[in-house]
Amino acid sequence: MTEAPRSIQPRPPRSVHEVLFAPDTRGILIAASRDPDAKLTFIVTPAPSAYPGRPTGAIAVKIPATAAAAAAIRHETQMLSDLRAAGLGSLAGMVPQYLETLDSDGLPALVSTALRGRPMSVTYHHWLHTARRRSVAVDFALAGGWLRRFQRATAGEASRIRWAEEVSDQLRDRWPAHQRLEAALLRLTSADHLLGAERVCRSMVHGDYWFGNLLVHDDVITGVVDWECGARSGWPLRDLVRFAVSYCLYLDRHTRPGRRVLRHRGLRRTGFGAGISYGLLGDGWLPELVRSYLRDGLAALGLPTELWYAAALTGLGEVAALANDDDFGSSHLELLAGLPLSAPGRQEPGVS
């Protein structure tokens, strides 16, 4: 009589304390937030014995503080797995590699490789960085170039663009009683009329492609981090627009209320989103760079370049619908509702 084989019990995850406080381990807290999905992010140099079989180097440990944060970490864990399976080629080393999930008082903590480089946000906030055309042009070129490579590497089947329609539904669900909802929806309807007539190849999407998540070293993007808002298949216009509107949003951050923003004629710090309105509708070298970046991104996707404004409106609506902070989301909704239905008096190159 043979003995029945014993079932193999999965090994329980290690405690986050076991990794952070192991002997010969050094680390630093690099990010903490008070958002509904607040997380603590540590960069840690573990002891060589902590991860046998892999090259020694720093790791990133992301620890959730709330149940909402735990859900975001679970989603990012799946995204990192999907990215690894996507066959990114030379881009594979520019996204974090999943290592393990730790236990943090019953919630999952994500451990991944740490990528070299510093966030683009560091240089963005240097004195006069956004006041110089050349430095801003480099930022847009880096972000646009990496994004085009990523979209080509992960492109799937072409589909009729339903992005504006989907954002409208998300906006209704998030803000059903908002006094500016109908005005915002009217702009999304206008955008959907244009975007919905086109087809584009869906691709993997980062979902929060702003300059704080792009790592740069020697004027080259070396990493793109924080994939917790990502999608395995989505509309590539999402990332394209997110970088542009987030870049414009903080142009007046270091200017006193009511004052003119240095070297940006026509831009003053007046209320929320003045930089976005300026970047989309203003005159000057920065609005020209913003619109060129959007047009180039559309052209790379095989879409008409004159759709840049419709895409921008939809991207603003998406932030309003999905932002984890209510004030931030509501402010974007109000900004969207106050913008023109179409870019006034502006003719696209080559259009008569």
**36 or 142, which is more confident:** 142
Beta-sheet pairing, 199-201 with 220-224: unpaired
Q: Which of 49, 82, 113 is the last residue of a domain?
A: 113
**CA–CA dist 338, 335 (Å, integer):** 5
53 plus 173 within the same structural domain: no
278 plus 188 within the same structural domain: yes
101 plus 154 within the same structural domain: no
pLDDT for residue 153: 97
Q: Considering the domain boundaries, does residue 347 fall inside one?
A: no
Q: How far is CA 43 from its chain centroid? A: 20
> What domain count does the chain have?
2
Q: What residue type is 8 in one-letter code?
A: I
Q: Considering the domain boundaries, does residue 55 fall inside one?
A: yes
- What is the value of pTM for the model shown? 0.93
pLDDT (tens digit per residue) in 208-247: 999 999 999 999 999 999 999 999 999 999 999 999 999 9
71 plus 88 within the same structural domain: yes
181 plus 282 within the same structural domain: yes
pLDDT (tens digit per residue) in 297-317: 999 999 999 999 999 999 999
Per the prediction, the chain carries an average pLDDT of 92
**CA–CA dist 294, 296 (Å, integer):** 5
Instruction: Tell me the CATH number at 160.
Output: 3.90.1200.10
157 plus 297 within the same structural domain: yes
Domain extent, residue 291, equals 118-338
- Is pLDDT above 60 for 168? yes
Q: What is the SS3 string spanning 1-39?
A: CCCCCCCCCCCCCCEHHHHHCCCCCEEEEEEECCCCCCE
Of 245, 214, 66, which is closest to residue 147 (Cα–Cα)?
214
Do the beta carbons of residue 324 and residue 34 sit within 8 Å? Answer: no
Q: Which of 92, 113, 134 is the last residue of a domain?
A: 113
pLDDT (tens digit per residue) in 278-303: 999 999 999 999 999 999 999 999 99
Q: Considering the domain boundaries, does residue 4 fall inside one?
A: no
DSSP three-state, residue 231:
strand
Instruction: Tell me the CATH number at 99.
Output: 3.30.200.20
175 plus 79 within the same structural domain: no
> Which parts of 86-132 fold into alpha helices (H)?
120-124
Q: Residues 15-28: what's their mean pLDDT? A: 87
Q: Considering the domain boundaries, does residue 69 fall inside one?
A: yes
Longest CA span, the chain: 89
pLDDT band at 352 (very low <50, low <70, confident <90, very high): very low
270 plus 168 within the same structural domain: yes
Q: Residues 256-279: what's their mean pLDDT? A: 96
Q: Considering the domain boundaries, does residue 85 fall inside one?
A: yes
pLDDT (tens digit per residue) in 37-47: 789 999 999 87
> Which parts of the chain fold into alpha helices (H)?
16-20, 67-85, 120-124, 133-154, 163-174, 181-195, 237-249, 274-281, 285-300, 308-322, 326-338
211 plus 301 within the same structural domain: yes
Q: Is the dihedral of CA 63, 233, 209, 83 positive or negative?
A: positive
Q: Considering the domain boundaries, does residue 6 fall inside one?
A: no
**159 or 31, which is more confident:** 159
Q: Considering the domain boundaries, does residue 56 fall inside one?
A: yes
Q: Which residues neighbour 69 within 8 Å (Cβ) at sequence distance 6 or greater?
A: 36, 37, 38, 39, 107
Q: Which of 96, 113, 130 is the last residue of a domain?
A: 113
What is the distance between the terminal CA atoms of the chain, rounded to a whole angstrom?
88
pLDDT for residue 341: 95
Of 251, 244, 267, 250, which is closest to residue 315 (Cα–Cα)?
244
pLDDT band at 9 (very low <50, low <70, confident <90, very high): low
63 plus 129 within the same structural domain: no
Do the beta carbons of residue 248 and residue 280 sit within 8 Å? Answer: yes
139 plus 81 within the same structural domain: no
Q: Residues 335-342: what's their mean pLDDT? A: 97
Q: Residues 70-79: what's their mean pLDDT? A: 97
- Is pLDDT above 90 for 3? no
Do the beta carbons of residue 42 and residue 27 sit within 8 Å? Answer: yes
86 plus 105 within the same structural domain: yes
Of 253, 256, 174, 171, which is closest to residue 212 (Cα–Cα)?
253
pLDDT for residue 189: 98
Q: Considering the domain boundaries, does residue 157 fall inside one?
A: yes
Do the beta carbons of residue 33 and residue 39 sit within 8 Å? Answer: yes
Q: Is the dihedral of CA 294, 296, 302, 303 positive or negative?
A: positive
pLDDT for residue 197: 98
Do the beta carbons of residue 258 and residue 216 sit within 8 Å? Answer: no
